[in-house]
Every structure is written in C-alpha cells, then in structure tokens.
Copies of this chain bind each other. A is one copy, B any other.
Amino acid sequence: VVTVTNPPKSPRTELRRLPDKASADLADLHAVLDAGRVAHVAFATDEGIFNIPVAYARDGDRLLIHGSTGSRLFRTLASGTTATVSVTLLHGLVLARSAFESSMQYRSAMVFGSPSLVSEDQMLTALRAMVDTWMPSRWDDLRPPTKRELAATMVLELPLLEWSVKLSMRDPEDPPEDLDEPVWAGVLPIERRYGNPIPAPDLRDDHEVPRYLGDWSI
C-alpha cells in the first residue's frame, strides 16, 4: 500500500479562484470519492475530447474503473493516454438575497493521471474491491466470475497522485446591504438515498431481499 499524503504542488491542482474552497487534505479527497459512484473521465482521442461517465471505486490510493475489452474508448484509456477524472456531489441550493450570491453546496474532486491496465492475476482482487464498494456483502452471494467473463473485462487503475478538491458547503454570504432585502434566504439541501428494492421480473419466488441491502447507503 502506497501512502500518499498531501498532493505535490502542481500548477493545475492549485486553485487560483476562491482558494478558501480548496482542500489539500487527503481525507477530504477520500471522503468525496467514497461518497460518489459515477466519475466523468475526460481524455483526448483523434476525434476530440471524450468525457465519459463510469462507475468507479476507490481502493486505497487508486481509483478503479472497468469496461469491456471490446470498447474502443476503454482501449484508448488503457493505451497510456492521460485522463482527467472528476467526481462531483451536489448537496444543496444556496438561496441568497440576490441572484449573484446564490450558488450551490457541493464537493468535487479532479484527478489527473494515466490509467493503467490491472494485470490478469490482480483482476479478481480489483473486481472484488469494486463490488465490495458498490454492493457491500454481495460478493459472497454471487457465483465467481467465469474465465470468459474475465477475458471480456478490462480493469484500469488510476493512482491518486495529482488531484485537487473543492469544498463549498457554505451558507448564503450576502453583503450587509442586502440583509434587509424582503426575501427568505437559506439552504435547500439535496438528499440522495436508495428507494425500495424492485424484484427482477424473472426472479424465482423463493429468494428474499438480502438483509445487507438495508445497510447500504448512497
């Protein structure tokens, strides 16, 4: 396990605007990445920049993503290209007394790097780490992946080495002259949660909803 503390200074991870919103704390990076599920992965190709949504998991000091060996975009990502991976969590609307001061509460992370292919002998460990992140306790309920399935899957890892984090969880910050405006101000929180599980139409009727689903949160 590589232990990465604060990121090395780099021109592109240094926030020049609103520096009070930046965090160089690795714990903040981990918190943002652990709360998200989908990242947007931007990378250049011959056809321009793509920006694809992928499910990801943080496993220690790396991000894991996976895709099909038949996907040209994943093959491009695995070929040594650099990528910029962003995760954003929207937590609320900030309703100030003016449009200008109104904003959103959010946390976001941007990671720069070159994804590399996880080797065949490490693939099962990486796949398990992803399933354990997205669907804790489920791995043992599922049959093991087949050789054919593993051969059809590409797992990529991106080290958490060069990154930036922005945290904006503030109340409205109206200037003093706006405080007498005749309007309510505050925060409207945005909540995300799992709803009730919906059985598959082809489910055999003797399988109950697993108890571990009740422990999952998002």
A82 at interface, CB cutoff 8 A = yes
A7 at interface, CB cutoff 8 A = no
Interface residue total, chain A, C-beta cutoff 8 A: 95
The answer to whether B171 touches A184, judged by C-beta atoms less than 8 angstroms apart, is: no
Chain multiplicity (copies): 2
Chain B: CB-nearest residue to A10: B47
Closest beta carbon of chain B to A107's beta carbon, Å: 10
A160 at interface, CB cutoff 8 A = no
Known contacts A49-B42, A185-B203; is A72 also within 8 Å of B16 by CB?
yes
The answer to whether A84 touches B195, judged by C-beta atoms less than 8 angstroms apart, is: no
The answer to whether B207 touches A184, judged by C-beta atoms less than 8 angstroms apart, is: yes
Q: Give bound CA distance, A95 to B123, whole Å.
A: 21
Measured between beta carbons, the chain B residues less than 8 angstroms from A88 are 38, 40, 53
Known contacts A53-B108, A190-B218; is A37 also within 8 Å of B198 by CB?
no
Measured between beta carbons, the chain B residues less than 8 angstroms from A1 are none
The answer to whether A110 touches B47, judged by C-beta atoms less than 8 angstroms apart, is: no
The answer to whether B190 touches A40, judged by C-beta atoms less than 8 angstroms apart, is: no
A19 at interface, CB cutoff 8 A = no
Closest beta carbon of chain B to A68's beta carbon, Å: 6
Closest beta carbon of chain B to A136's beta carbon, Å: 12
Q: Give bound CA distance, A152 to B200, whole Å.
A: 52
Closest beta carbon of chain B to A143's beta carbon, Å: 6
Measured between beta carbons, the chain B residues less than 8 angstroms from A95 are 135, 138, 197
Measured between beta carbons, the chain B residues less than 8 angstroms from A90 are 37-38
Q: Which of B40, B49, B99 contacts A131 (CB 8 A)?
A: B99
Interface residues of A in 66-112 (CB under 8 A from B): 68, 70-72, 82-86, 88, 90, 92-93, 95, 97-100, 102-104, 106, 108, 110, 112
Other contacts beyond A99-B131, A183-B210, A184-B203: 9, CB < 8 A: A17-B71, A53-B88, A98-B149, A99-B127, A102-B134, A102-B142, A182-B207, A190-B193, A191-B193
Sample 11 A-B pairs with CB under 8 A, ordered by A number. A40-B42, A48-B84, A51-B84, A98-B149, A99-B142, A184-B210, A185-B202, A186-B200, A188-B198, A189-B196, A190-B192
